[in-house]
């Protein structure tokens, strides 16, 4: 009887792991795609700003990382504006008629699916501004 009980528990654990794996796969499958063209266009447009020296976007599962390198004299408020503008650019180009683009105070629908992390600084370890926008929030928390 004890052996049968152990096998039942093992089977239950295996099924729970299987269902957990299926649910995360389903979530990943429902993420709206972000094209390389949208990434490249947003990056080129933010780089047109004379204060931006370098910019990069990385998408990893349901997380988007935006990084911007700026000059040493950049103020925190300006760094935050650049980060938010970069997020808006990506959301605009990624929308492609499937999602609502940014408008007014809204960053658009893209960030209802993806967590957004923004870093703006003079180098990879010297941040002027860092922000996060979770999928269930409307604004970036700086």
Note the pTM of the prediction, 2 decimals: 0.79
What strands, in cross-sheet order, belong to the sheet with 52-60? 52-60, 63-70, 115-123, 126-133
Give 17-31 pLDDT, tens digit per residue.
Answer: 544 554 444 345 589
Give 52-107 pLDDT, tens digit per residue.
Answer: 999 999 999 999 999 999 999 999 999 999 999 999 999 999 998 789 999 999 99
Q: How far apart, in Å, are the Cα atoms of 8 and each of 18, 21, 130?
A: 15, 20, 48
Q: How confident is the model at residue 3 (pLDDT cuts 50, 70, 90)?
A: low
d(Cα 113, Cα 55) in Å, to the nearest integer? Answer: 22
CA dihedral 27, 28, 31, 33 (to 10 degrees): -170
């Amino acid at each position: 009887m004890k052996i049968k009980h152990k096998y039942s528990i093992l089977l239950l654990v295996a099924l729970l792991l299987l269902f957990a794996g299926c649910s995360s796969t389903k979530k990943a499958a429902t993420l709206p795609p972000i094209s390389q063209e949208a990434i490249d266009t947003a990056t080129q447009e933010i780089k047109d700003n004379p204060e931006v020296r370098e910019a990069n976007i990385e998408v990893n599962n349901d997380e988007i990382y935006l990084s911007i390198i700026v000059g040493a004299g950049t103020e925190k408020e300006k760094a935050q504006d650049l980060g938010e503008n970069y997020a808006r650019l990506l959301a605009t180009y990624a929308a492609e008629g499937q999602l609502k683009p940014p408008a007014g105070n809204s960053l658009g629908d893209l960030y209802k699916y993806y967590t957004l992390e923004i870093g703006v600084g003079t180098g990879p370890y010297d941040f002027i501004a860092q922000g996060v926008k979770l999928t269930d929030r409307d604004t970036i928390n700086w």
